[in-house]
Amino acid sequence: MEKQVIIATKNKGKAKEFEKMFSTFHIKVKTLLDFPEAIDVEETGSTFEENAILKAETISQQYNIMTIADDSGLVIDALDGRPGIYSARYAGEEKNDEANIDKVLAEMIDIPNDDRSAKFYCALAIAIPGKETITVSGTCEGEILRERKGNNGFGYDPIFFIKDKGQTMAELPSEEKNRISHRAKAVDKLPSILQNLFFLGDQK
């Protein structure tokens, strides 16, 4: 039977990236964009991992199926780690990427060029009914530009500059982002975990 996994996200940018990355695992992926009636999980955790676990466990219990959730964000050193777990809503509940970028650029207007380091962080939680939830994570180092560059990706990608690429995350083609991003680095850790889980105890 083809393995089924729900990715507990409503974020279109993430959904696209997960569908592309999972196509190599021959696992059929659905996201919460396919389940409009899914519980809307309130992210009350104080860490990326806590929020990812909340999202994965709520949905895996609702549908009794293996669920992976991603909680991720942008952590800027000069802003004491902000926006962090509040990245999606940094400029307000409407989760507007453009407004989020504007707010970060305004807060960093006086930050010198040599103090604009940042990282993207992604925590994934894997919840399987009847088993212990597992988390993995990935990070991608970069720095924050003073203006947007590039139209690919989503969120803060246009202002996140990756030195050894000489480009922003939004200038990279999506295949390239899906090789080097914080999300890709976390997803890369899944095959060995899924192998063990499926090998040790086939999903019911």
Ligand X SMILES: O=c1[nH]c(=O)c2ncn([C@@H]3O[C@H](COP(=O)(O)OP(=O)(O)OP(=O)(O)O)[C@@H](O)[C@H]3O)c2[nH]1
Residues in the site for ligand X, rule: CB under 6 A?
9-11, 14, 43, 70-74, 87-88, 100, 120, 153-157, 160, 169, 181, 183
Q: Clarify whether 202 is annotated catalytic.
A: no
CB of 12 to ligand X, least distance (A): 9
Task: For Mg ion, give the closer residue by CB, 15 or 88.
Answer: 88
What part of residues 76-95 is at the interface with Mg ion (CB under 5 A)? Answer: 88
- Match 């409407």 to its residue by tokens: 94
Q: How far is the CB of 132 from ligand X (least distance, A)?
A: 22
Tell me what percent of the chain is helix, strand and coil, each rounded to the nearest 5: 40, 25, 35
Residue 182 annotated as lining a ligand binding site: yes
Q: According to the annotation, is 196 in a ligand binding site? A: no
The Cα 22–Cα 28 span in angstroms is 8
Candidates 180, 148, 178; CA nearest to 163 is: 180
Q: Please give the structure tokens belonging to residue 133.
A: 């939830």
Pick the closer one to ligand X by CB: 50 or 198: 50
165 is in an annotated binding site: no
Asked whether 184 and 178 are in contact (CB, 8 A), the reply is: yes
- What is the C-alpha to C-alpha distance for residues 160 and 141, in angstroms, rounded to an integer? 9
Is 103 among the annotated ligand-binding positions? no
Indicate which residue of 71, 114, 115, 202 is catalytic.
Answer: 71
Contacted by 137, from ligand X, Mg ion, none: CB < 5 to 8 Å by type: none
Q: Residue 148: CB partners within 8 Å, gap ≥ 6? A: 101, 158, 159, 168, 170
* Nearest distance, CB of residue 29 and Mg ion, angstroms: 18
How far apart, in whole angstroms, are the C-alpha atoms of residue 156 and residue 144? 9
Enumerate the active-site residues. 71
Which residues are known binding-site members?
9-14, 42, 71-72, 154-157, 177, 182-183
